[in-house]
Amino acid sequence: MPHAPEPTTRRELRLAEQAAQHRHAVPRLVRVPRPRLFGLLLRPVPLGAAALAAVAVGSAVLGGGTAQVYANGVATAQHERLLASAALETALTTANIARADRASGDRLGAQAVGYAGAKRTEALTAARAAVANAQAVAATAVTDVAVDVLAPLDSAAANLQVLIAQAPADLAATSAVDAAPAATAADPLTDAPASAVEATVDPAADSELAVDGADEPAPEPSAEVAAESPAAEPEAEPTVAENLRLSAEMLAAAQAVSELSVQVQVTAGENAAAVVAEQEAAAELARKIDTAVAADNGEIPADVLCAPSFAPKALLRCDAVPALEELDAAFARKFGRHLSIVSSYRTYDEQVTVKALRGGLAASAGTSNHGLGIAVDFANFGSVGDFTAVSYLWMKDNASEFGWFHPALMEAGGSGPLEPWHWEFDAETNDEDVADS
């Protein structure tokens, strides 16, 4: 047999109390009108003494039995009403406990909704800030980084914007828990006075009226009472858990965008610094070259000259060094060794010394291209007038690609001196400009 639903509303509890009272009432006694009864008793009947005694005894027994039955019925009714009142009080207590539990659950649900809403607000704030920062970084870094460096940031920012667009406008409306104010345990379940229960068990109540009303049928529950039963509310979408998951996803995406923005900023800063450094180096190189060109022969300051990486003791005009290093690299690939420099820049005093030592093989002091920082002498290129060394022959075929030349007057058949080891950077090939070996 299915169990009837437990009453929860005030109306249902009152109806349950009335039904319990009527269900356990004592059946009504059938009463005989008193005039008729007295008429039967007073009517003279000719009886003997024995018969009269029997009638008297029977009447006494009948009267006593009737009184006893009536008294038992009243006692039973009062006992049943006591039980019904106790059951009602238990039901009220149980219902109040359930009500308090529901109120506590509603409060917890409201707290969960608030927490989820706060996390979503936090995620949206962080996401919007990350997108704005990424756009600013991309706008400023576009000239300093390559497209492939910006691509990951652009993609991550676009994905984050999709998550922001999908976020519900009303955060509180996305919860699966009703956030309405919850009832407290102190909220009375019924508005009946406390004396109502006591009145149902008052022994001084009119027992005859209680017995007379015992046969009244209990009223059927009305449609209005049934309508008061709370209907199951459909679950809202998305749930609190889903909201928290989406918020965590958005926060993670915002963090990724922020990290990519930092990476792009660092790369852009490094590239910009490198450009500045290159510009400064180029400006310094130009200053050194201009200073060397403007200086008198043999009077170039040492701090504006440069040394090749493969020959750190040699000094040349700074624009000649990169070309010589490239030439040396090609030479090393061919012969497995570096070019060996035996003479490079010569000061005026050094030119005087060389002229004194070498005589006609040296130019007068102040006229040698060594004094301009654009001439070198290599070892292992042959002796005077000997142009058969493999080093010399290879240089004749390749040196011009790197801006280095062997002066024409020093070639075989030239006006001399015929030095296969003397090479110059971007030098003129006529006799007037080249005066030294």
**CATH number of residue 386's parent domain:** 3.30.1380.10
Instruction: Output the pLDDT for position 150.
Output: 92
CA 271 → CA 137, 150, 250, distances in Å?
14, 13, 31
Confidence of residue 34 (pLDDT cuts 50, 70, 90): low
Instruction: Output the pLDDT for position 3.
Output: 58
Residue 6 DSSP class: P
Instruction: Output the pLDDT for position 167.
Output: 80
Evaluate if residue 205 carries a pLDDT over 70: no
Within a domain: 95: yes
Amino acid at 97: I
Confidence of residue 27 (pLDDT cuts 50, 70, 90): low
DSSP class per residue in 268-319: HHHHHHHHHHHHHHHHHHHHHHHHHHHSPTT---GGGEE--TT-TT--EETT
Residues in contact with 347: Cβ distance below 8 Å, sequence separation at least 6, in sequence order: 298, 299, 371
Instruction: Output the pLDDT for position 209.
Output: 39
Q: Nearest-CA neighbor of 132 among 164, 105, 103, 106?
A: 164
Range from 1-15, 84-98, 267-281, 323-337 carrying the lowest mean pLDDT: 1-15
Phi-psi map region of 126: left, alpha, beta (phi>0 left; psi -120 to 50 alpha): alpha
Q: Nearest-CA neighbor of 431 among 418, 420, 415?
A: 415
Tokens representing 151?
């691509």
- Of 31 and 262, the structure prediction assigns the larger pLDDT to 262
The pTM score is 0.51
Across residues 92-100, what is the average pLDDT?
A: 81
Range from 19-23, 301-305, 340-344 carrying the lowest mean pLDDT: 19-23
Within a domain: 210: yes
Across residues 76-85, what is the average pLDDT?
A: 82
Across residues 100-122, what is the average pLDDT?
A: 81
Across residues 75-84, what is the average pLDDT?
A: 82
Instruction: Output the pLDDT for position 429.
Output: 37
Across residues 290-301, what is the average pLDDT?
A: 97
Mean per-residue pLDDT over the chain, rounded: 78
Give the whole-angstrom CA distance, residue 383 versus residue 127.
77
Across residues 417-421, what is the average pLDDT?
A: 93
Q: For the chain, how many structural domains are there in total? A: 2
Are 199 and 52 in the same domain?
Answer: yes
Give the whole-angstrom CA distance, residue 297 versus residue 119.
77
Within a domain: 433: no
CB 254 within 8 A of CB 125: no
Task: Please name the helix (run of DSSP H) or strand (run of DSSP E) that holds residue 424, with its range, or none.
Answer: strand 422-425
Are 26 and 171 in the same domain?
Answer: yes
Across residues 84-111, what is the average pLDDT?
A: 79
Within a domain: 280: no
The domain boundary, picked from 250, 265, 280, lies at 265
Tokens representing 405?
């030349």
Q: Nearest-CA neighbor of 147 among 278, 254, 258, 264?
A: 264
Are 221 and 312 in the same domain?
Answer: no
Examine residue 33 and say whether the peptide bond preceding it is cis (omega within 30 degrees of 0). no
Within a domain: 2: no
Are 340 and 255 in the same domain?
Answer: no
Q: Nearest-CA neighbor of 247 among 174, 312, 184?
A: 174
Evaluate if residue 44 carries a pLDDT over 60: no
Beta bridge partners of 377: 343, 422
Within a domain: 368: yes
Roughly how many angstroms between the first and final C-alpha of the chain, as a whole number?
127
Are 62 and 181 in the same domain?
Answer: yes
Domain span at residue 69 reads 10-227+240-265
Are 249 and 318 in the same domain?
Answer: no
CB 310 within 8 A of CB 339: yes
- Of 180 and 20, the structure prediction assigns the larger pLDDT to 20
Are 417 and 312 in the same domain?
Answer: yes
Within a domain: 88: yes
Tokens representing 387?
């142009």
Range from 154-163, 204-213, 291-300, 329-338 carrying the lowest mean pLDDT: 204-213
Within a domain: 193: yes
Q: What percent of the chain has pLDDT over 70?
A: 68
Are 116 and 250 in the same domain?
Answer: yes
Are 64 and 185 in the same domain?
Answer: yes
Are 204 and 252 in the same domain?
Answer: yes
Evaluate if residue 73 carries a pLDDT over 50: yes
Q: Nearest-CA neighbor of 164 among 237, 236, 246, 240?
A: 246
Are 183 and 319 in the same domain?
Answer: no
The β-bridge relationship of strands 316-317 and 305-306 is antiparallel
Across residues 319-341, what is the average pLDDT?
A: 97
Are 42 and 139 in the same domain?
Answer: yes
Give the whole-angstrom CA distance, residue 380 versus residue 338.
11
Confidence of residue 112 (pLDDT cuts 50, 70, 90): confident
